[in-house]
Amino acid sequence: MAVVGFGWHMMPEGIGAWAVILAAMAAAILAAYLFSLVTEAQTNPLRRRILAVLERSASLDVHQ
Residue range 48-59, pLDDT digits in tens = 999 999 888 887
Give the pLDDT of residue 48.
Answer: 92
pLDDT for the residue 4: 61
Length, in residues, of the chain: 64
For residue 22, the model assigns a pLDDT of 93
d(CA 44, CA 22): 34
Q: What b/e string do you get for 45-58 counting C-beta neighbours within 10 Å, with b at 16 or more?
A: eeeeeeeeeeeeee
Q: Spell out the residues 6+ positions from residue 5 whose beta carbon is closer than 8 angstroms to its own.
A: none
pLDDT on residue 1: 52
Low-confidence ranges of the chain (pLDDT < 50): none
